[in-house]
């Protein structure tokens, strides 16, 4: 990933005091916080990291899609930010609700990592009928069912290292994780296959970080905004506009992915029934300045062409029935087969 460099003349907004970064305590969250800390250090800004436990961290025995609450991994961190206990917060952008608390702002969205979903274990086409594939995401589960209704899609919980351990114990034949998390934690060699976004639409904001500060024009905001990556911001704006218009959350099987090519912004969106039997997918493109409008228009098209009925049916039920995690079994897994980790941009 690229880094943000600075010239001596750009150090005007560096605070003379130590800034405190709020972060969750998972291995991936701390990697992300340390990455931001290193970028701030390059700008001449000293900082420390404060670990904050969120509601989502405390839920270990229930699928998050069943909780149906927004801000599961951000609420307590944002409360600390508003209270002045921390100066900035580092989040995975896909964890962030589209509506921020009053008084807070996304000061920066840095350059994005790989947004794709990754299969770990066995290649998709090599999975035998009835093979067990683990995912904790309704979006991933529905798209897997649409492509391979013969597979057993089973729930999996835990941090990245926990999920890899469960795979290695033989509880699953393969699992689906975000490629960005695997790469950030040094587990890129565990990736067997990368799903093209035109095949498996990623979650909104997947692979991107969000640096949140108070909306007070203070030193934390000004130093953080120098980590901004314009193309990632445009893509994230379009994707989050889709999410906002659909009213989606972790309980909704929907996705959106946007990218910039030759100064044109392309955005795709998807709504899919939990069983994978009904799928609505469309794409739009336009200028970067139209990012929010493009996302909103795409969402309206998805809703008008059958997506509204899918979402109404999903929201009418408390949650999708949750499968229990499989217990340890004996079968041995084949060695992972690596695929070339190059991002193929979907055609609009």
- The residue out of 228, 260, 280 marking a domain boundary is 228
Distance from the first to the final alpha carbon of the chain: 26
Q: Are residues 214 and 300 in the same domain?
A: no
Band (52; pLDDT cuts 50, 70, 90): very high
pLDDT of amino acid 300: 98
* 23-42 confidence digits (pLDDT tens): 999 999 999 999 999 999 99
Per-residue pLDDT band for 65 (boundaries 50, 70, 90) equals low
Q: Residue 105 belongs to what domain range? A: 14-111+208-228
Residue 331 pLDDT: 33
Q: Are residues 218 and 290 in the same domain?
A: no
Query: Helices in the chain by DSSP H: which ranges?
Result: 27-42, 55-58, 64-67, 75-83, 138-147, 160-168, 179-184, 219-224, 230-246, 291-302, 308-315
> What's the sign of the alpha-carbon dihedral 78, 251, 315, 199?
positive
Judgement on whether residues 253 and 220 belong to the same structural domain of the protein: no
The answer on 30 and 107 residing in a single domain is yes
Q: How many CB atoms lie within 10 A of CB 310?
A: 23
End position of a domain, from candidates 165, 193, 228:
228
Nearest to 52 by CA among 71, 32, 70, 26: 26
Which entry of 87, 95, 117, 155 is annotated as an active-site residue? 95
95 carries an active-site annotation: yes
268: pLDDT strictly greater than 80: yes
pLDDT value, residue 250: 58
Say if 64 falls within a structural domain: yes
Q: Are residues 72 and 97 in the same domain?
A: yes
Q: 68 lies in a domain?
A: yes
Please report whether residue 330 resides in a domain.
Answer: no
> Which has more confidence, 46 or 71?
46
Domain end (from 228, 260, 294) = 228
Residue 341: pLDDT above 50? no
Distance CA(322)–CA(48), nearest Å, equals 39
Whether residue 105 sits in one domain with residue 26: yes
Span 79-90, average pLDDT: 97
| 35 plus 75 within the same structural domain | yes
Report if residue 344 sits inside a domain: no
Assign residue 296 the CATH number of its domain. Answer: 3.30.160.40
* Same structural domain, 104 and 242: no
pLDDT of residue 338: 32
Q: What average pLDDT does the segment 277-303 reach?
A: 98
> Which H or E run includes 132?
strand 132-134
Q: Is residue 308 part of a domain?
A: yes
Confidence of residue 62 (pLDDT cuts 50, 70, 90): low
pLDDT at 66: 54
- Please state, rounded to an integer, the average pLDDT across all residues of the chain: 87
Range with lowest mean pLDDT among 165-174, 295-304, 311-320, 331-340? 331-340
The answer to whether residue 125 is domain-embedded is: no
Which pLDDT belongs to residue 252?
80
Same domain, 218 and 79: yes
- Confidence band, pLDDT 50/70/90 cuts, at residue 347: very low
The answer on 307 and 249 residing in a single domain is yes
Q: Is residue 37 part of a domain?
A: yes
Task: Kindly state the average pLDDT of the residues 57-80.
Answer: 70
| Whether residue 215 is found in the same domain as residue 298 | no
- Domain tally, the chain: 2
Is residue 328 situated within a structural domain? Answer: no
Q: What angle do CA 275, 115, 80 make, to 5 degrees?
A: 95
Q: 285 and 243 in one domain? A: yes
The DSSP bridge partners found for residue 254 are 271
Does pLDDT of 337 surpass 80? no
């Amino acid at each position: 990933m690229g880094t943000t460099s600075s010239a001596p003349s750009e150090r005007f907004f560096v605070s003379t005091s130590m800034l405190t970064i709020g972060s969750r305590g998972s291995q991936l969250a701390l990697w992300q916080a340390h990455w931001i800390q290193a970028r701030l250090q390059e700008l001449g800004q000293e900082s420390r990291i404060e670990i904050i436990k969120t509601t989502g961290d405390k839920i270990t025995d229930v699928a998050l899609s069943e909780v149906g609450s927004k801000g599961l991994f951000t609420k307590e961190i944002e409360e600390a930010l508003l209270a002045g206990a921390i100066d900035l917060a580092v989040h995975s952008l896909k964890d962030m609700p589209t509506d921020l608390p009053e008084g807070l702002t996304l000061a920066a969205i840095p350059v994005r990592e790989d947004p794709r979903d990754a299969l770990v274990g066995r290649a998709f086409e090599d999975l035998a009928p009835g093979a067990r594939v683990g995912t904790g995401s309704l979006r991933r589960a529905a798209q897997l069912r649409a492509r391979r209704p013969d597979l057993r899609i089973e729930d999996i919980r835990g941090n990245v290292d926990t999920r890899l351990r469960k795979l290695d114990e033989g509880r699953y034949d393969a699992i689906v994780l975000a490629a960005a998390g695997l790469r950030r934690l040094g587990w890129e060699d565990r990736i067997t296959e990368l799903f093209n976004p035109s095949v498996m639409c990623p979650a909104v904001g997947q692979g991107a970080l969000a640096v949140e500060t108070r909306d007070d024009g203070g030193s934390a905001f000004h130093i953080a905004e120098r980590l901004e990556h314009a193309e990632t911001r445009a893509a994230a704006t379009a994707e989050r506009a889709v999410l906002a218009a659909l009213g989606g959350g972790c309980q909704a099987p929907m996705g959106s992915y946007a990218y910039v090519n030759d100064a044109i912004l392309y955005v795709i969106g998807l709504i899919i029934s939990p069983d994978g039997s009904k799928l609505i997918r469309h794409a739009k493109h336009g200028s970067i300045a139209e990012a929010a409008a493009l996302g909103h228009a795409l969402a309206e098209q998805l809703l008008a062409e059958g997506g509204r009925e899918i979402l109404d049916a999903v929201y009418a039920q408390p949650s999708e029935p949750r499968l229990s995690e499989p217990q340890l079994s004996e079968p041995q897994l084949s060695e992972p087969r690596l695929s070339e980790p190059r991002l193929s941009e979907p055609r609009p």
